[in-house]
Structure 1
Amino acid sequence: MVRVTLLKKATDLIFFHRTDKWPVSFFESMKQSIAVIPEFITEDEEKCLLQEIEPHMKRLRYEESHWDDAIHTYREREQKKWNPANEKVLERIATTSFPEDALHLSYIHILDLHKNGYIKPHIDSVRYCGDVISGISLLSDCVMRLVHKDEKHLIVDLHLIRRSLYKMTGIARYDFTHEVLRHNDSYFNDVYVPRERRISLIRRDLPKKEAKLNVEWKPLGEAVPDIKHEHK
């Protein structure tokens, strides 16, 4: 009974606009390409993650815009080593979201989005990450919107509630832009979703060609100057 309730809640966190306009096969494929799992971490696990993250984030100032103009009013860093308790949480993201044979980027991307910040529509470059993008939301809910890159009427909203996990793969990863709506536009199925400062911890697998080469990626601040990181 508990499992059925959880699945229903997870389904309620995904909203397809104008389902009558979706080709049936495409609709079914999209449903298999996205997931939101509520209460993926506990309140204590969130607190433990924040205790490790916050001292580093406080040293950074919020940036008004990203190099590619995709993110506004944010700060970010990447981290490889975590305390044992948090390492278990991050490993749980990996085992839940990725195939067993996936090769992961060794650094976790930490994105701190100000209450007034937002992320514009974009598709993460295949140069910097592979088939799966997955992350957890700390401190606040938000609405993530996916829009088909060509058929703009094909829209899906994800209600990323605090402490939930989201996953994008397949056509959601490659054929749809994704964005985080501004706090004034933060509506899910016509219901306003209040937004505060939000921190997301994002895991990615290696791009296919890079995975074959067993490339070790550098964190933000240590990257080769002509390599830029994509965000979500």
Structure 2
Amino acid sequence: MKPKAIRDVPGLFQFPDFITEDEEGLLLQSLDTGNKWQLSSFNGECMTQRWGVVTDLKRRSVRPCSIERGEEDLPSFLRAIIEKWINRCEVIAQFHPNEANANSYEKHKGHSLAAHFDDRFLSGDILVNLSLGADCHMTFARKDKIKVLVPRRSLQVVTGRARFEHTHGIDLDDFHGPRRVSITFRRAKLTCT
């Protein structure tokens, strides 16, 4: 599977139709089972779930997850996505994340993603994002703002200048459906055990 390079944002790639409609439906069902969504206002308001290593941005630390604290490692439905890109996407075949979070954005609730950088030290060099439920336009900004279409069921890879020199965010009006869910994968750098 060959990536589509986004010329206006160096280091940004997409794999359109990375998953099928049936796979998308099963992923959304897995995410919605068990009522694990929690309200987040960290980078704009949305509902969120997270798995894997635990990053504490205030303490500048990353530690393994603890089952005793109710934390959860990457579940099998996320590991299946990782296996798929390892086997089909040469550009990220060596990327093995240890952290993931899902965000659910509902347009009627005014959800959005504020312009931000994922932590440029603790969150690693690559971000991989799977888009579910609806298309959106994500704004990448350095000096100028560039709106990039992120199609539903696509896998987006953020590396290099796109990762370290551009903020990214999504305005409310740039969600092209009632609900969009994203799953972001990272390889966080463990700072403690």
1:179 pairs with one of 148, 169, 189: 169
Distance 2:152 2:85 in 1: 15
Structure 1 equivalent of residue 49 of structure 2: 77
What secondary structure, in the 3-state scheme, does the structure 2 residue paired with 1:162 have? Answer: coil
Q: Which structure shows the bigger proportion of residues in helix conformation?
A: 1
Distance 2:29 2:120 in 1: 32
Provide, for residues 23-64 of structure 1, a one-character-per-residue CA deviation record: whole Å limited to 9, x for no partner.
xxxxxxx43x001221010111111111211123x454544x
Between Structure 1 and Structure 2, how many residues are aligned? 168
Confirm or deny that 1:92 pairs with 2:65: no
Opposite residue 180 of structure 1, the aligned amino acid is I
Which has the larger Rg? 1
1:133 pairs with one of 124, 127, 140: 127
1:164 pairs with one of 154, 157, 160: 154
What secondary structure, in the 3-state scheme, does the structure 1 residue paired with 2:19 have? Answer: coil
Specify every segment of 5 or more residues in structure 2 that has no aligned partner in the other structure, as ranges: 52-72
RMSD: 2.7
Distance 1:61 1:94 in 2: 30
Distance 2:96 2:23 in 1: 25
Matched ranges for 1:115-154 at <5 A: 115=107, 116-148=110-142, 152-153=143-144
Confirm or deny that 1:112 pairs with 2:104: yes
Confirm or deny that 1:45 pairs with 2:23: yes
Q: Say if 1:75 and 1:111, in contact at 8 Å, map to a contact too.
A: yes
Distance 1:172 1:51 in 2: 31
Under a length normalisation based on structure 1, what TM-score does the superposition of the two structures give?
0.62
Q: Say if 2:36 and 2:49, in contact at 8 Å, map to a contact too.
A: no
Distance 2:16 2:93 in 1: 21
Opposite residue 179 of structure 1, the aligned amino acid is G
Matched ranges for 1:31-70 at <5 A: 31=10, 33-56=11-34, 58-60=35-37, 62-63=39-40, 65-66=41-42, 70=43
Q: 1:137 to 1:173 in 2, by over 3 A?
A: same
